[in-house]
Structure 1
Amino acid sequence: MSKGRRTMRASAAVAAAAVVALSACAAPEDVEGPGEAEGDGETFLQLATGSTGGTYYPLGGEIAQLWSSNIDGLQVDTFATGASVQNMRALEGETEDEEAGAIDQSELVMAINGVAMQAQESTGPFEEEPLASPDDILALGNIYPEVMQVVVKADSDIESIADLEGANVEIGPPGSGTEVAARQILEAYGLDPDEDINASDSTFGDAATALGDDQVDAAFGILSVPAAGIVEIGASNEVRLLPIDGEEAESLFELDPSYSSLTIPGGTYNGQDEDVDTLTQWAALYGTSGLDDDMAYDLVRVMYENAGDIGHDVGGQVQLETALDGLGTMELHPGAERYYQEQGVLD
């Protein structure tokens, strides 16, 4: 992805997640094991998504339904997790999550591209506990832009990230992409996340409720635009987004090439009258070399060719043209690579 500015045209209205998306989601204990079922030749795959209050969970359910409906002999089940960091570990084997409990190995995961790069490079949250085979992580393609949104009430005295010193701040669940990015951003503004703020680690759904109830002063969230949780707060309270720009943003670009700038137009949320510059990464789909090449080909083909059937607001942002933005050093799965070559988006 280039570091040029992207401007997202977003309506302030958020549609409810489709019922079919939720019906495709299941708790880990209800999910069939991966592989081929005995006697009927059907293939079962699991897709690790994110917290129930975020975008990954309902969106992942809809994408899984697309796959199950359009690829013969395939059933994809989804389940809630702690999101990006948790999901990268789930590619290698069973992992534990405070919200979801024990999570089996997953053949497919949704994760922020920056976290995937950290997993491959054994840096950040993977430095002390690296994956056993980080080079086996393979990208299948981008899903939608993940936008860092730091929200406060419109009448708050907090005008910038630097003003969060001493404040009560929701920085995202442990191991989530939101938490990883929030810590990087706070440090770029000279704040120690463990010393200079009173940090909480709720899911964004709970964080939004806490902000609306004045239990916290600000909440970080890597979310789609518009974000349902922020729209819900704005229904009863005017809100503002804090900018992430200038020298601090430039330092983050140098630190992590998966970042780029994005402008959220004024009017996206109730109370946010002016354009706000912030950072974006990409929510992307990942697997390993253990995923069959033909299956990987069909997964990306169906996801992009049927994106118009996705009811979630970000469905319109699932585009073949941006499938490889911000890929960095990540290698493509050979099956996905074949599809992109056929479509002319990869030489």
Structure 2
Amino acid sequence: MSKRGSGLFFAILLAFALILSACGNNNGGGNQGGGSEGGKSSGGGDNKTLSLLTGGTGGTYYPLGGSMAQIISDETDYNANAQSSGASAENMQALKNGEADIAFSQTDIAAYALNGELMFKDNKVDNVKAIGTLYPETVQIITTKGSGINSVEDLKGKSVSVGAPGSGVNANAQQILEIHGLSFDDIKAQSLSFDESTDGIQSGSIDAAFITAGTPTAAVESLSAQKEIRVIPIADDKIKQLIEKYPYYAEDTVPKGTYKIPEDVKTVAVKAMLVVRDDMPEDDVYAITKAIFENTDKITHAKGKLIKAETALDGIGDLPLHPGAEKYFSEKGVQK
């Protein structure tokens, strides 16, 4: 064969190989982008980004959200980023505005948002659905041993942190004071974050603080290393009255030894939950839900032990589930 003939032969052979390669790469065509079927897809392409709103750095949402973001990134098509925020009420508003994808919320605040009540009276949220509940969020009324505050009634006239206006903590504080015949007018209400609250108790600028979060709460743990603290109990009859009027509460206990306290303290709790924008694809929410609830052993925060698929619909009430989450829990045999 001449040089010219040989060159032409190899050129034809190369072109044929390129055509075969292109056909092979297009075979199936289903792995590029789009939702996954319960895990990371095998196709190429960059992972999608996902913003997960948590809470303040001194609370439980923030470290817990960091673990969950890592699990989502490892197990799905998303690169998830946990972001600190003003927690429940702010998170619901951010989802409504399309500023985030998934968020933590208290069950009571999610209910207010979806029903257009209290802080959402003029700003109803209608584009958010539930993924599932996680663990009890304990209402902790924190003070120091030497404050002279031994009951909720003793808060009268004191400087008390009640959380940011419109926050879940703020609503809890109002409702608990109400059951005890008090209001914000009876205390010197301060709108502080968890870290600011414990710093204020440490410095003596405030007397007590309402903190609604999973126990142990990081900011309170830090305070207990510096001061001998007291968790104020709620009496049994007041707990009963509170639950009768606001049924999303449940009786709870801060266990002996938490923050070095010498005995169990009775109080109440709401549930922490995950919520998601309703326009997220069903397959994606299914994959995210499955990733979280089947990898709880990878959650580094102590609350990871309480997060279970079997209890993820407890306390969810009338909050609508996202179809992706509903699909996952249905497969697990879990129903509302």
TM-score, normalising length from structure 1?
A: 0.81
Task: Indicate the SS of the match to 1:91.
Answer: helix
In the alignment, what sits opposite 1:70? 75
Select 2:55's aligned residue among 39, 42, 50: 50
Q: Is it true that 1:166 corresponds to 2:166 in the alignment?
A: no
Query: In the alignment, does 2:229 pair up with 1:239?
Result: yes
CA offsets 1:210-236 (integer angstroms, 9 cap, x no match): 112211111110111112222221212
Secondary structure of the corresponding residue to residue 155 of structure 1: helix
Q: Name the structure 2 match of 1:21.
A: none
Point out the structure with max Rg over C-alpha.
Answer: 2
Identity among equivalent positions (%) equals 37
The superposition leaves residues 121-172 of structure 1 with CA deviations (integer Å, 9 ceiling, x where unpaired) of 1111111x222x52x3211011222111001111221111111000010111
Q: Distance in 1 between matches of 2:318 and 2:311?
A: 16
Amino acid at match of 2:198: A
Residue 91 of structure 2 is aligned to residue 87 of structure 1: yes
SS of the residue 1:87 aligns to: helix
C-alpha separation in 1, matches of 2:234 and 2:103 = 28
Q: Which has the higher helix share?
A: 2
SS of the aligned residue for 1:295 comes to helix
- Structure 2's unaligned 5+ residue stretches are 1-33, 36-43
Bigger mean CA deviation after superposition, 311-320 or 291-300: 311-320
Q: Secondary structure, in 3 states, of the residue corresponding to 2:258? A: coil
Q: Distance in 2 between matches of 1:119 and 1:90?
A: 12
In the alignment, which of 85, 88, 109 is matched to residue 115 of structure 1? 109
Residue in 1 that maps onto 2:315: 326
1:274 paired residue number: 263
Residue of structure 2 equivalent to 1:40:
45
Among candidates 75, 99, 102, match of residue 105 of structure 1: 99
User: Within the alignment, does 1:130 sit opposite 2:130 as a pair?
Assistant: no
Give 1:174 deviation, angstroms. Answer: 2.3
SS of 1:187's partner is: helix
> What CA deviation, in whole Å up to 9, does each residue of 1:252-310 have, x standing for no partner?
2122221100122222222x212111111111001132011111111111111111111
d(CA) in 1 for partners of 2:275, 2:115: 15
Alignment: residue pair count = 295
Aligned equivalents of 2:111 and 2:218: distance in 1? Answer: 28
Q: SS state of the match for residue 144, structure 1? A: strand
1:257·1:328 contact (CA, 8 Å) conserved in 2?
A: no
Match of 1:200 in 2: 190
| Counterpart position of 2:181 | 190
Q: Quick one: distance in 2 between partners of 1:331 and 1:146?
A: 20
State how far apart, in whole Å, the 2-side matches of 1:116 and 1:346 are: 20
Structure-2 separation of matches of 1:50 and 1:227: 12
- Out of 170-179 and 213-222, give the one that drifted further: 170-179
Task: Give the equivalent residue in structure 2 for 1:97.
Answer: none
Q: Cα deviation per residue 1:90-146 (whole Å; 9 max; x = unaligned)? A: 1111xxxxxxxxxx611211100010011111111111x222x52x32110112221
- Structure 2 counterpart of 1:30: none
Query: Match of 1:47, SS?
Result: strand
Deviation at 1:321, TM superposition (A): 2.3
Aligned residues of 2:140 and 2:231 also touching (Cα < 8 A): yes
SS of the aligned residue for 1:253 comes to helix
User: What is the alpha-carbon distance in structure 1 between the residues aligned to residue 82 and residue 56 of structure 2?
Assistant: 12
Counterpart contact for 2:151–2:233, Cα < 8 Å: yes
| Aligned AA (1:182) | A
1:251 offset after TM fit, Å? 2.3
| Whole-Å separation in 1 of the counterparts to 2:255 and 2:272 | 21
Question: SS of the residue aligned with 1:285?
Answer: strand
How far 1:41 sits from its partner (Å)?
4.9
- Alpha-carbon deviation of 1:247? 2.9
2:48 counterpart letter in structure 1? T
Is the contact between residue 163 and residue 191 of structure 2 (CA under 8 Å) also seen in structure 1?
yes
TM-score, normalisation: structure 2: 0.83
Unpaired runs of 5+ in structure 1? 1-34, 94-103
Q: What residue in structure 2 maps to residue 250 of structure 1? A: 240
Other structure's SS at 1:254 match: helix
Contact 1:142 1:322 in 2 (8 A): yes
Instruction: Describe the superposition over 1:165-195 as per-residue Cα deviations: whole angstroms up to 9, x where unpaired.
Output: 00010111222211111111111111111x1
Question: Alignment partner for residue 315 of structure 1, among 304, 315, 333?
Answer: 304
Deviation at 1:344, TM superposition (A): 1.5
Residue 292 (structure 1) aligned to one of 270, 281, 284: 281
CA distance in 1, matches of 2:255, 2:83: 33
Aligned mates of 1:236, 1:44 — CA distance in 2: 40
